[in-house]
Amino acid sequence: MQYDFVNELGYLAIATRLKRISEAMVHSGRDMYKSLGMDIEPNWYLIFRLLQKYDQLSVMEMTAKLHFSHPSVISLVNKMEANGYLESAPDKKDSRKRQFRLSEKAHSNIPEFEKVWTAGTIGVEKLFTDNSFLDQLESIEIQLSQSDFKERTLNELSK
């Protein structure tokens, strides 16, 4: 890796670095799916896994589980439905809701996807020497959900 000024900046540049790593991985993932001739996107993984576990969910149920905004979820599921991976039907009891489930195409393709997802998981896992990184990530998430960056900084400022 060539010289990177951002890494000199310590903790205050951490958001920049996290975003760069994330974008590099997503970009590379998109590229990989294309190379493998798979017509799916990196983020669809979240929805596939959700509907494997919960079978049928509405938009708001997905936003609650993923902590995404609802427009983001709508955008994801619309694209997946347009590509034939999801089916939606109005909820029987509440006509405001659309219930989404995996399509037949999804079920028949997922075994192939699983191979790639397993390989991807192993590949990423090898980036870490132990699993303390995931633990630290969770710790950061919890702490920031209790008191965000602004609050923490203003608190330090007032000392």
Partner DNA sequence: TGATAAAATGTAGTTGACTACACTAATATA
Partner DNA sequence: TATATTAGTGTAGTCAACTACATTTTATCA
Which residues between 48 and 67 bind DNA (CB under 7 A)?
Answer: 58-61, 67
Q: Is the Cβ of residue 34 or residue 105 nearer to its own copies in the bound state? A: 34
- Stretch touching its own copies by CB under 8 A, among 79-87, 89-97, 101-109, 138-146: 138-146
- Stretch touching DNA by CB under 7 A, among 5-13, 95-103, 124-132, 146-154: 95-103
- Stretch touching its own copies by CB under 8 A, among 75-83, 94-102, 103-111, 151-159: 151-159
Q: Is the Cβ of residue 34 or residue 105 nearer to DNA in the bound state? A: 34
Q: Considering the rule CB under 8 A, would residue 60 count as an interface residue with its own copies?
A: no
Q: Considering the rule CB under 7 A, would residue 81 count as an interface residue with DNA?
A: no
Contacts with DNA, 102-121, as mask; x by CB under 7 A: --------------------
Per DSSP, the residues of the chain read ----GGGGGGGGGHHHHHHHHHHHHHHHHHHHHHHTT----TTHHHHHHHHHHHS-B-HHHHHHHHT--HHHHHHHHHHHHHTTSEEEEE-SS-TT-EEEEE-HHHHHHHHHHHHHHHHHHHHHHTT-SSTHHHHHHHHHHHHHHHS-HHHHHHHHHT-
Q: Considering the rule CB under 7 A, would residue 137 count as an interface residue with DNA?
A: no
Q: CA torsion angle for 71, 75, 81, 86 (degrees, to 10)?
A: -50
- Applying the rule CB under 7 A, the residues between 16 and 45 that interact with DNA are 16, 19-20, 23, 27, 30, 41, 43
Q: Considering the rule CB under 7 A, would residue 47 count as an interface residue with DNA?
A: no
